[in-house]
């Protein structure tokens, strides 16, 4: 038991900047990061969690820390683990237009044990999500699950003034989810990324595409964050790491252009002369898998 607990540390609330508290992710159930931005007038929740239980634990930790309960929530994207807590959130929920449209579809889907195989069979969910969903919610809980629709919808940008703290949500898209939104707290140099930097898990082979990955990195780079919360990373992601990733990805595409099509056995070695080998090994396979895809 001890070993299992250590392998999957529970979600905990940590203050990471002047105005931002991070509710850390948990890998056993694939619970993503949540966060609360606290202003003088209002607290704002970032993502609503993988279940009413996950949301409840976050809000209990917020209360125990003596923080004002969040009156509104913003969603990063419509994947189950970021939205299944929605019915338990009593405040207003804000979402990008595509996120709202996907929630409207998902609320008609059958997520019960009997229904999950059909969702995987036709690609609405994938084996990965079908494995984790039953760890977070029982069959009975999924049968009773109601996905309510967001209260407010935006297209490109949504802004809130929480009282001395400005928050901007930006639609960035990318390979992981077309509806992906990042939430920026510029005064704290903080960016909540959701899963936007992840590759496309829904593709037959995990991939990045040049047409989505490069514009995403350019948008994130422009925001110039010092510190970032990623959906499923138990460590914070730093501005320096974003700069290193962006440099590698740009270099990888221009090196690929230079080498032309066909086998490129020297590519990895070439890139590791200029970039950390671990970063190259994590990033290059999905770049190659998506090279000819749009």
Interacting residues with Zn ion (CB under 5 A): 79, 195
Q: How far apart are CA 240 and CA 253, in angstroms?
A: 20
Q: At closest approach, how far in Å is the CB of 132 from Zn ion?
A: 11
Q: At closest approach, how far in Å is the CB of 194 from Zn ion?
A: 7
Pick the closer one to Zn ion by CB: 66 or 123.
123
Q: At closest approach, how far in Å is the CB of 232 from Zn ion?
A: 8
Q: What is the DSSP letter of 33?
A: P
| Chain-centroid distance, C-alpha 57 | 19
Q: How far apart are CA 171 and CA 61, in angstroms?
A: 29
Q: What CA–CA distances, in Å, run from 119 to 124, 130, 286? A: 5, 9, 25
Q: At closest approach, how far in Å is the CB of 49 from Zn ion?
A: 13
Under DSSP, is residue 167 helix (H, G, I), strand (E, B) or coil? strand
Q: At closest approach, how far in Å is the CB of 111 from Zn ion?
A: 16
Pick the closer one to Zn ion by CB: 40 or 131.
131
Pick the closer one to Zn ion by CB: 119 or 162.
119
Pick the closer one to Zn ion by CB: 42 or 175.
175
Rg (CA), the chain: 19
Under DSSP, is residue 66 helix (H, G, I), strand (E, B) or coil? coil
Neighbours of 157 (CB within 10 A): 12
How many residues in total does the chain contain?
294
Tally of CA atoms within 13 A in the half-sphere of 185 that contains its CB: 27
Q: At closest approach, how far in Å is the CB of 177 from Zn ion?
A: 6
Cα angle: 201, vertex 204, 209; to 5 degrees: 65
Pick the closer one to Zn ion by CB: 79 or 210.
79
């Amino acid at each position: 038991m001890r070993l299992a607990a250590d392998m999957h540390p529970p979600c905990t609330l940590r203050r990471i900047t002047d105005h931002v508290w991070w509710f850390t992710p948990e890998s056993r159930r694939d619970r993503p990061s949540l966060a609360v931005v606290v202003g003088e007038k209002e607290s704002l929740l970032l993502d609503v969690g993988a279940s009413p239980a996950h949301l409840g634990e976050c809000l209990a930790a917020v209360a125990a820390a003596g923080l004002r309960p969040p009156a509104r929530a913003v969603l990063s994207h419509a994947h189950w683990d970021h939205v299944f807590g929605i019915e338990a959130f009593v405040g207003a929920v804000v979402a990008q237009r595509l996120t709202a449209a996907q929630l409207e579809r998902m609320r008609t889907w059958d997520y019960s044990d009997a229904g999950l195989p059909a969702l995987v069979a036709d690609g609405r969910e994938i084996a990965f999500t079908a494995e984790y969903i039953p760890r977070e919610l029982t069959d009975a809980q999924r049968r009773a699950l109601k996905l309510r629709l967001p209260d407010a919808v935006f297209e490109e940008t949504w802004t809130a003034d929480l009282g001395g703290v400005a928050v901007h949500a930006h639609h960035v898209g990318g390979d992981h989810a077309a509806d992906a939104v990042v939430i920026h707290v510029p005064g704290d140099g903080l960016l909540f990324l959701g899963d936007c930097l992840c590759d496309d898990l829904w593709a037959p082979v995990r991939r990045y595409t040049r047409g989505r990955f490069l514009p995403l990195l350019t948008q994130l780079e422009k925001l110039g964050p010092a510190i970032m919360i990623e959906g499923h990373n138990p460590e914070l992601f730093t501005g320096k790491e974003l700069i290193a990733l962006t440099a590698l990805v740009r270099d990888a595409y221009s090196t690929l252009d230079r080498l032309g099509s066909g086998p490129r056995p020297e590519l990895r070695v070439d890139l590791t002369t200029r970039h950390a080998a671990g970063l190259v090994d994590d990033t290059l396979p999905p770049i190659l898998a998506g090279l000819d895809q749009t």
